[in-house]
Amino acid sequence: MLQASNLSKFYGHTVALHPLNLTVQRGEIYCLLGANGAGKTTTINLFLNFIQPTDGSALVAGIDVVARPEESKAKLAYIPENLMLYPNLSGLENVDYFSALARQRYSRDELTAFLTQAGLQEEAHDKRISTYSKGMRQKVGIAIALAKKAEALLLDEPTSGLDPKASNEFSELLKKMSQRGVATLMATHDLFRAKETGTHLGIMKEGRLVEQLTTDQINHTDLEKLYLKHMN
Amino acid sequence: MIKSLIYEWKTIARERWLSVLFLLFFGCTLFAVRNGREHVGDRAAAIDKARHEQEVAEEATRFEIDSIARGLKRYEQSWLDPRMLSVYGQRMGRVVAMDPQPLAFVSTGQSDLFTHYTKPKLYGEAYALGFSELSNPVKLLFGSFDLAFVCIYLLPLLVVAFSYNVLSAERESGSLRLTLAQPISVFGWLLRKFMVRFVALAAVVVGSMMLAFLMMGLGLPHGTVRMVAVILSYAFFWFALSFWVNVTGKSSGSNAVKLMSAWIVVVLLLPAIIGQLATQLYPVPSRINMIHQYRVAEAEADKRASEILKTYYRDHPELARQDSSQPNRYQFWIEYFASIDLIKEAVMPVVDRYNRQLASQQAWVDQWRFASPAILLQDALTDLSGTSARHYSDFRQQVIAYADAWRSYFMPRMFRNEWMTTEALDQLPRHTYQSQHVRSSFLIDLLVMVLAAIGVLAAGWVTFRRLSTEQLLAG
């Protein structure tokens, strides 16, 4: 579903991403680990066509993101670290608005259902986003992804700054999405959450993917050791 | 598509400070329309009063002439006798007025510089009428708080306040990232956002004006549609400019500075420079100098009166009386008429120079008005209001023509030594103000304004094409 082939990004002589080969299949949750500046966000931005690759290609459902950006974006949902929505609109209205941008039309009941599935309590649906906590906004982000019928999910440190309960709820939502066959690529610093939620792990360092493994191959302690070994 | 327009509208409508801004605009509009209406009311009232006084005076004089003819009354002193053509022609000059056009209240234009009615007489300085060193067409463009001022000055500020950060605010708040992850054409999306704002502003502007017109009891004067069209095209230009500034992808602060600089250049600097250059390149001769020359020529003609008259009779044998046994009671006037051509001849160079300079000034401004949409709008609005420099220049010509007609009526009759009769009263020349033959620049102004806006929009498109998503997100 998500595929990077020799995908690289250079800024002059600075290398942001060494040629990267990575595949995320339907239903997989691929967690990218690494320090700040390791190339996690660059990878996600390349899949979103926010930046132009220097070489290689990024495919979403087999669609090249540079050649056919609108088609590839139709299949993607994206939740950045700090999801900002329209503060003057309610949660429900935001989902409706972004669905309209993605050329989807829903009744009020359908929109309510998406928000409920995303775990947002009913009484908040019609309140303005400006009154929402970060966790609530991330849930609206999930609702937008659900409404968009996204086949792939790109997440850039979505749980940073969330309290443990909210973080846990978010992980549960990701698992639900993956059960529906959504391919997820998530950049995160949270080793624990990555091991709990993810199906695959990748460790990045200085623009290179230095380690790939599946979560069932390793326990929490070994993952931390492995991670620190690469960082030192 | 429609849904995203609706949500765009909702986000705008929920901003409280914008409602405040619009209330302020409505207040300004109402105040401006009130000022304009008062100004035009004074002008119309002055003309009506003059006309009424003329009617009363004419009726009284008719009665008096009739009484004298019936032998019921007589005047010992001939200079009081209304039957004397010289007395009537000098005292009973008819009102030549420039009636206000239906939209005169929109733009004061040159109307506070000139008189709107005059009474040309037999004797006098008709040619000096309306001469003024102040008649520079741009200098006093924005003198009073009228609707033209509100539109030229304040409307762009409203457009800027309403649109300077359409794109940058999305980036700065962070919502742009989510938007750019959607399968949309960003250019189209941004254009739609601007469109919604333009329509909202147009509704507010038109609504404010119509409401102000109705509240001031003006109804919908003839030409309102054209006025609204040109004002909205001006707003369109500012939106286009703001769009261009937005797609350079810089911060809100940078956008605001750029747009305010554009406002200063387009609204303040360019009109001031063009107006200043008009007076510097084509200075108008002084009015004092003109009147002085007129009087010198008059005095000179006085000295040589009998000699001039002899020459005059030689040139105009048809004016010589067959029966010259009695002296002509209009002898002084006949000498004056004979000398008029000489006086004209002496003054003509100055008058010509004045006319030429004024025409050059006007041509200069006409030509350079395309440099600033603010001047274009001002030109279009004064054109619709009938208060443009062209209208006043045309009125001056109408006054001069009427003064000639008045004199031409009396002159041959005075040479024939006739009296004024009640029958003759009905044949006196009348003046009706007509503005139809003033060349209108409205359509060109409108067209150029729209083209300029489209041009700026196209420049915005080119700028946008060069902007990568990366730059768009980074700012």
Beta bridge pairs of residue A202: A32, A212
Confidence at residue B460, expressed as pLDDT on a 0 to 100 scale: 95
Spell out which residues of chain A touch residue B14, defining contact as CB-CB under 8 Å: 88-89
Question: Is residue A140 a part of any domain in this protein?
Answer: yes
Confidence at residue B163, expressed as pLDDT on a 0 to 100 scale: 93
Spell out which residues of chain B touch residue A52, defining contact as CB-CB under 8 Å: 468, 470
Residue A70 and residue A49 in one domain: yes
Question: What string of DSSP letters covers B260-284?
Answer: HHHHIIIIIIHHHHHHHHHHHHSPP
Residues A83, B178: C-beta atoms closer than 8 Å: yes
Confidence at residue B125, expressed as pLDDT on a 0 to 100 scale: 61
C-alpha distance from A89 to closest chain B C-alpha (Å): 7
Confidence at residue A158, expressed as pLDDT on a 0 to 100 scale: 87
Any A CB within 8 A of B19 CB: no
Q: What is the DSSP letter of A75?
A: T
Spell out which residues of chain A touch residue B469, defining contact as CB-CB under 8 Å: 49-51
A151: its two tokens: 């086949």
pLDDT tens by residue, B178-213: 999 999 989 999 999 999 999 999 999 999 999 999
Select from A48, A81, A97, A154 the residue whose CB has the most chain B CBs within 10 Å, as the one to mutate to test that interface.
A97
Q: Residues B309, B260: contact at Cβ < 8 Å?
A: no
Confidence at residue B143, expressed as pLDDT on a 0 to 100 scale: 63
Confidence at residue B131, expressed as pLDDT on a 0 to 100 scale: 47
Q: Read off the amino acid at residue B280.
A: Q
Among A52, A86, A96, select the one facing B175 at the smallest CB separation. Answer: A86
Residue A52 and residue A159 in one domain: yes
Nearest to B99 by CA among B403, B363, B433, B382: B433
Confidence check: pLDDT of A99 > 90: yes
Task: Name the 3-class secondary structure at A200.
Answer: strand
Residues B173, A87: C-beta atoms closer than 8 Å: yes
B10: its two tokens: 């909702």
**Selected residues 429-468 of chain B with any CB under 8 Å from a CB in chain A:** 468
Spell out which residues of chain B touch residue A76, defining contact as CB-CB under 8 Å: 181
d(C-alpha B397, C-alpha B394), whole Å: 5
Where along chain B do its domains lie?
2-32+158-212+226-263+444-474
Residues A88, B11: C-beta atoms closer than 8 Å: yes
Question: Is residue A176 a part of any domain in this protein?
Answer: no
Spell out which residues of chain A touch residue B4, defining contact as CB-CB under 8 Å: 97, 100-101
A111: its two tokens: 């929109």
pLDDT tens by residue, B317-355: 777 766 667 778 888 888 888 887 777 777 777 778 878
Among B4, B10, B182, select the one facing A73 at the smallest CB separation. Answer: B182
Number of structural domains, chain A? 2
Q: Read off the amino acid at residue A101.
A: L
A86: its two tokens: 């329209």
Confidence check: pLDDT of B126 > 60: no
Spell out which residues of chain A touch residue B15, defining contact as CB-CB under 8 Å: 88
Residue B260's pLDDT band, with cuts at 50, 70 and 90, is very high
Confidence at residue B335, expressed as pLDDT on a 0 to 100 scale: 80
Question: Is residue A103 a part of any domain in this protein?
Answer: yes
Any A CB within 8 A of B15 CB: yes
- Looking at chain A, which residue has its C-alpha nearest residue B8? A97
Confidence at residue B134, expressed as pLDDT on a 0 to 100 scale: 45
Question: How are the residues of chain A apportioned to helix, strand and coil, as percentages rounded to the nearest 5?
Answer: 40, 30, 30
B128: its two tokens: 């000096």
Domain with A137 in it: 83-150
Residue A21 and residue A46 in one domain: yes
SS (H, E, C) B150-215: HHHHHHHHHHHHHHCCHHHHHHHHCHHHHHHCCCCCHHHHHHHHHHHHHHHHHHHHHHHHHHHHHH
Confidence at residue B135, expressed as pLDDT on a 0 to 100 scale: 47
Question: Is residue A108 a part of any domain in this protein?
Answer: yes
**Residues with Cβ < 8 Å from B221, sequence gap 6 or more?**
B102, B103, B213
Confidence at residue B229, expressed as pLDDT on a 0 to 100 scale: 97
d(C-alpha B308, C-alpha B73), whole Å: 38
Confidence at residue B327, expressed as pLDDT on a 0 to 100 scale: 78
- Looking at chain A, which residue has its C-alpha nearest residue B11? A88
pLDDT tens by residue, B378-415: 999 999 999 988 898 888 889 888 988 998 899 889 88
Nearest to B319 by CA among B337, B340, B343: B337
Residue A46 and residue A106 in one domain: no
Nearest to B247 by CA among B171, B336, B345, B302: B171
Spell out which residues of chain B touch residue A88, defining contact as CB-CB under 8 Å: 10-11, 14-15
Any A CB within 8 A of B471 CB: no
d(C-alpha B189, C-alpha B280), whole Å: 49
Let me know the angle formed at the C-alpha of B317 by B314 and B322, rounded to the nearest 5 degrees.
125
Residue A200 and residue A137 in one domain: no
Least confident of B44-58, B60-74, B153-167, B280-294: B280-294
Residue B397: count other Cβ atoms within 10 Å of its Cβ: 13
Among A73, A100, A144, select the one facing B3 at the smallest CB separation. Answer: A100
Among B175, B184, B470, select the one facing A85 at the smallest CB separation. Answer: B175
Helix (H) or strand (E) holding A152: strand A152-156
User: Which positions in chain A have a beta carbon within 8 angstroms of at least one beta carbon in chain B?
Assistant: 48-52, 69-71, 73-74, 76-78, 80, 82-89, 93, 96-98, 100-103, 105, 141, 144, 154
**Residues with Cβ < 8 Å from A173, sequence gap 6 or more?**
A118, A119, A139, A142
C-alpha distance from A25 to closest chain B C-alpha (Å): 21
Residues B178, A144: C-beta atoms closer than 8 Å: yes
Q: Read off the amino acid at residue B71.
A: G
Question: Is residue A37 a part of any domain in this protein?
Answer: yes
Question: Is residue A174 a part of any domain in this protein?
Answer: no
Question: Is residue A91 a part of any domain in this protein?
Answer: yes
Confidence check: pLDDT of B468 > 60: yes
Q: What is the mean pLDDT of residues A137-158?
A: 92
pLDDT tens by residue, A170-227: 899 899 999 999 999 999 998 898 998 999 999 999 999 999 999 988 888 999 999 9
Residue A6 and residue A98 in one domain: no
ipTM, two decimals: 0.92
**Residues with Cβ < 8 Å from B91, sequence gap 6 or more?**
B82, B121
Confidence check: pLDDT of B372 > 60: yes
Burial of B185 (0-12, 13-18, 19+ CB in 10 A): exposed
Question: Is residue A173 a part of any domain in this protein?
Answer: no
Across chain B, what does the average pLDDT equal?
A: 87
C-alpha distance from B174 to closest chain A C-alpha (Å): 5
Spell out which residues of chain A touch residue B189, defining contact as CB-CB under 8 Å: 101
Residue A71 and residue A90 in one domain: no
Among B177, B179, B473, select the one facing A101 at the smallest CB separation. Answer: B179
Q: Which residue has 């995160």 as its token pair?
A: A188
B475: its two tokens: 């700012």
d(C-alpha A112, C-alpha A126), whole Å: 10
User: Percent of chain B, pLDDT > 70?
Assistant: 95
Tell me the range of B131-145, B252-266, B459-473 where mean pLDDT is highest: B252-266
Residue A130 and residue A97 in one domain: yes
The torsion angles phi and psi of A200, rounded to 5 degrees, stand at -130, 150
User: Bigger pLDDT: B127 or A67?
Assistant: A67
Q: Residues B171, B468: contact at Cβ < 8 Å?
A: no
pLDDT tens by residue, B410-458: 988 988 888 888 888 888 999 999 888 888 999 999 999 999 999 999 9
Nearest to B12 by CA among B158, B120, B228, B166: B166
Residue A200 maps to which CATH number?
A: 3.40.50.300
Nearest to B209 by CA among B376, B27, B41, B13: B27
Confidence check: pLDDT of B133 > 60: no
Spell out which residues of chain A touch residue B181, defining contact as CB-CB under 8 Å: 48, 73, 76-78, 154
Torsion over CA: B53, B59, B64, B69 (sign): positive
- Looking at chain A, which residue has its C-alpha nearest residue B185? A70
d(C-alpha B82, C-alpha B92), whole Å: 9
Any A CB within 8 A of B473 CB: yes
Residue A33 and residue A98 in one domain: no
Q: Residues A29, A178: contact at Cβ < 8 Å?
A: yes
Torsion over CA: B86, B87, B91, B92 (sign): negative
**Residues with Cβ < 8 Å from B371, sequence gap 6 or more?**
B270, B274
Residues B470, A51: C-beta atoms closer than 8 Å: yes
Among A50, A74, A89, select the one facing B11 at the smallest CB separation. Answer: A89
Any A CB within 8 A of B3 CB: yes
**Residues with Cβ < 8 Å from B283, sequence gap 6 or more?**
B357
User: Percent of chain A, pLDDT > 70?
Assistant: 100
Any A CB within 8 A of B1 CB: yes
d(C-alpha A129, C-alpha B279), whole Å: 59
Residues B185, A70: C-beta atoms closer than 8 Å: yes
pLDDT tens by residue, B69-106: 888 888 878 778 888 888 898 888 899 999 999 999 99
Nearest to A140 by CA among A163, A165, A109, A114: A114
Residue A41 and residue A98 in one domain: no
Q: Which residue has 């000699």 as its token pair?
A: B307
